[in-house]
Amino acid sequence: MMSGPQRAQAMEALQRAQATEGGAAGGADEEPARGQEYRERQAADYDAAARELFKSLGLVGGDAGSSAGGKYSNLDPIWCDPRTKARVFIGNQSAAKNEGTLATHGITHIVNCQDMNAPNFHEANPQFCYLRFPVAHWIREDMETDEQVLAYFNRCFEFVQTALDSGHSVLIHCLAGAHRKPHD
């Protein structure tokens, strides 16, 4: 469980990472469309932000599954298919690289949301099926409507749905898996 000071440190680390993005340019002549604002931002270094978060939480080795004086989970189930009982998990790189963890949770399908150079740890193992979905690349896309956002994510949705329909659990991960609700 994250303490109040740990949460504050984590938020400060994320805010520092966001400040390095450069933010959206302001001004009266800026195009008001949401898509233009996003395209003007520089891509954030999400891996650096994750490492800063690990450091602020006192995580051993930069991606270990526990922190000093707190609880940190490498993966969390967020949904269970009522028909097939397959689950969707959100997690971090530690969960993705640990074949035992994947087997324990019945995970055979993995969505790697990191950049294109991040490893798919078990790609050579035919037991696993991967989708490389570098979510930070959204900034390069032309997405000014809800329909365009949905179209961008559709490939990921289809991969997950096909796995669930077949009874296979899915891990969706980035480096830190930090975009989850803290355990209270």
Return the C-alpha torsion angle 44, 121, 129, 171, nearest 10. Answer: -60
Q: What is the pTM of this model?
A: 0.64
> Tens of pLDDT along 29-78?
434 444 444 444 444 565 666 667 656 655 544 444 444 444 668 888 98
Q: What is the domain partition of the chain in residue ranges? A: 4-173
Q: Residue 106's closest CA among 125, 130, 124, 88?
A: 88
User: Which amino acid, one-letter code, is at 94?
Assistant: S
Confirm or reject CATH 2.60.120 for domain 4-173, answering yes or no.
no
**What's the CA gap between 50 and 92, in Å, rounded?**
10
**pLDDT of res. 50:** 62
CB count in 10 Å sphere of residue 106: 14
Cα gap 37→153, rounded to integer Å? 19
